[in-house]
Structure 1
Amino acid sequence: MLFPFEFAVVTPMPMSRRLMILGLPVLLSACLSGGSSDLPDLPFTQLDGSQHRTSAFKGKVTVLNFWATSCTTCVKEMPQIVATHQRFQAQGLETLAVAMSYDPPAYVMQFAQTRQLPFRVAIDHDGSLAKAFGDVQLTPTTLVIDREGKVVKRYVGEPDFDAMHKLLGQLLSRPAA
C-alpha cells in the first residue's frame, strides 16, 4: 500500500446543502454575537455621486440589499424590493441596494435607470460594505436593520416577502427610541 489513507468517491453536493455549509460561518457569527450587530459607520457613494455614511441609517428601519446585475435571483426579486420600499416608505423605511464590487458600474447604472429604482443605490467598489455586514458573499443577501442599528433579520437568497413585510410593519410601528 502506497498511501496510508483511503480514497472516497465524492459526489456533488446539492445546492441547498452547499448554501447551508457556506452560510454556517455567518450563522455562527450571528449566534456568537447575540444575533445582531451594530450598524457600522462606513462611507458609501450613491450612483448620483452623492456621499453618505451608513451611520445615517441609525434611528431608521432599513432594508439593505446586496445584489448583482449578474445574479438572476437578484434581478427577479428587485420588483418585490421596489414594492416593499413603496409600501413602507411613508412609514419611514429606508432602502439601500448595494451592488457587489465585481458588478460593472455601467451595468448597475443602466439597471437602476431602466427600472427606475426609487431608493438609494450604491456600488461597493472595494467590498468594504459587504465585509462590514458579515462578509456578504452570496447574492442576494438582504438585511433588515432596526432603529437601534441592529441587524434583526438576514435573508440569504430571495426573502419570504410576506414574513419580511410583517417584520417591517412591527419594527416601523414601534416608537423611535
Structure 2
Amino acid sequence: MTAPASPRSWKTPVALGAALLVLAGIGYATFARSVPAPDVTFISIDGQKISTQSLRGKVVMVNFWATSCTTCIHEMPAMVDTYNKFKGQGLEFVAVAMSYDPPNYVLNYTETRKLPFKVALDASGDIAKQFGDVKLTPTTFVIGKDGKIIKRYVGEPEFPSLHALLQKALAAG
C-alpha cells in the first residue's frame, strides 16, 4: 500500500511547466526580434565595393561559402535558381567566400559556373566575424528592406520555405 500523495505533489510539476513556458516565451521574444545586419563593405572579386548601407531598401541574401565545402557546392545551383527567380523583384545576393578559401579557387568556380550574383572575398575574415562570427558553411542570411536580419540559415536551406520567405519580404513595403 502506498502513502497518500502529499497535497503539494501536483504543484511542483505545474510550477516547473509554467517556468518552462515563461523561459520559452522569453527565448522566442529574444530571437524573434530583428537584429540589424552589420554595417560592412564587401569587396567583390572584380574589385567592386558593396556596402550593406547601399543595399538598404532591398531584400538581400548574404551567403557565406567555400569551394572546399561540399554542402556549399551542392546548394549553389539552387542558390543560382533562387537568385534568378527573385532578382526581377529586387533581390540582391552576395556570396561571401571564407577567408581560408584561395582567391584563385573562388574566381575559377565563379567563372566556370557563371555565377550571376556578386561574389566577394572575405580575405581577413572580418565580415564573417561581424555577422556573428560565422564559422560553419554554408551560412545564409536573409536581410529585409529595413536592413534587419530576417532569418539565418546554417546549412542548406529548405528552398520552398526560403522562397516563401523571400516572396513575403519582397512584397513588404
Q: TM-score range by the shorter chain?
A: 0.7 to 0.9
Shift of residue 32, structure 1, vs aligned partner: 4.3
Secondary structure class of the residue paired with 2:36 = coil
Query: Could you say which structure has the larger radius of gyration?
Result: 2
Deviations 1:7-58 (A, max 9, x none): xxxxxxxxxxxxxxxxxxxxxx997465432122222210111122122121
Secondary structure class of the residue paired with 2:35 = coil
Secondary structure class of the residue paired with 2:77 = helix
**Aligned mates of 1:147, 1:91 — CA distance in 2:** 12
Q: 2:96 aligns with which of 82, 95, 98?
A: 98
Secondary structure class of the residue paired with 1:135 = coil
Secondary structure class of the residue paired with 2:164 = helix
1:59 corresponds to: 57
Secondary structure class of the residue paired with 2:42 = strand
Confirm or deny: 8 A CA contact 1:39 1:55 kept in the other structure.
no
1:81 corresponds to: 79
> Structure 2 matches for 1:11-160, cutoff 5 A?
32=30, 34-160=32-158
Structure 2, unpaired ranges of 5+: 1-26
Seq. identity, %:
52
Secondary structure class of the residue paired with 2:61 = strand
Equivalent pairs counted in the alignment come to 147
- RMSD of the TM alignment (CA)? 1.7
1:12 corresponds to: none
* TM-score, normalisation: structure 2: 0.80
Shift of residue 106, structure 1, vs aligned partner: 0.2
* TM-score, normalisation: structure 1: 0.79
Q: Pick closer, same or farther for the CA change 1:103–1:146 going to 2, 3 Å.
A: same
Confirm or deny: 8 A CA contact 1:40 1:55 kept in the other structure.
no
